[in-house]
Amino acid sequence: MKKRAHAKEHDTQRVSRIVGTALPLRGNDIDTDQIIPARFMKVVTFDGLGQYAFYDVRFDENGQENRHPFNEREYKGANILISNSNFGCGSSREHAPQALMRFGIEAVVAESLAEIFAGNCAAMGVPAVRMTRDQIEELQTAVEADPGLQIEIDLLSESLKAGAREYRFHISSSYRSALLNGSWDSTAVLLSQSEAIRRKGKSLPYLNENPFK
C-alpha cells in the first residue's frame, strides 16, 4: 500500500503525511547527473522522465538491467527513497527531482541533501528530510530485511515511523511551512485568488479603456 495523505483548501494541496514503503539507495554524493543523465533532459515537458531515473547505473551499454534498487522487484511501488550524505549534489537541474517523482518517489530521506535539490523537491510537493547517519543506516538495514515495512513521514510532528521504530527528522522550516499550508503549489495558490485577480483587472484603466478612442 502506498498513500499520500493531503488535504485540499482553496484548491491548494497541503502535504502533511506520506505513507508507504521505502527504497534504500546506499551511497554518498549521489549527484543529479546520476539521477537523470543530461542527454535525457532534451524535452519540452517533464513527462516520461521517470523511466530514465538512474538510467546509466540501472542499465548496461546493451540496455540490460544491472543490480540496482530501482530495478529490484521487492522495492517495486516504493514511494519513499532513503539515501545517505549529500544526496542531490551537482548541477541544479530540476529534472532530477522531477524524474524521481515521476518514477513514483513521494519523499526523500537522507543524511544530508544538496540545498537546491531539497528546494526543488519542496517546490513539487515532495518532502526532502534529513536524519542522522546512524538512523539512516538502521532504517536502510530494516527496509532491506523487510521491503514491505510500512513507513510514515509526519510533517506536523517531524517524525518518521518505521514499523515499531520512531525517529525524529529535520526539514527546513520554510519548506515544511510551504508543504503544510499548500503554498508550495504556486499555480494552485494563484488560481485560488482568481476572483481577486479579476476584480483587480477590472480596476486597471489600461486593461479596460479602448486605446483607439
Residues recorded for the chain = 213
Fold for 3-7+14-183, please state it: Aconitase; domain 4 (3.20.19)
Q: What is the pLDDT of residues 175-197, one digit of tens each?
A: 999 999 998 866 655 666 667 66
Contact 58, 68 (CB under 8 A): yes
**Of all residues in the chain, what percent are helix, strand and coil, respectively (each to 5)?**
35, 25, 40
φ/ψ region of 18 (left if φ > 0, alpha if ψ in -120 to 50, else beta) reads beta
What are the sequence ranges of the domains in the chain? 3-7+14-183
Beta bridge partners of 38: none
DSSP-based three-state secondary structure for 9: strand
Q: What is the pLDDT of residues 2-26, one digit of tens each?
A: 444 544 333 458 999 999 999 999 9
Q: What is the pLDDT of residues 97-122, one digit of tens each?
A: 999 999 999 999 999 999 999 999 99
Burial of 92-125, coded b for 16+ CB within 10 Å and e otherwise, reads ebbbbbbbbbbbbbbbbbbbbbbebbbbbbbebb
Q: Residues with Cβ < 8 Å from 168, sequence gap 6 or more?
A: 131, 158, 159, 160
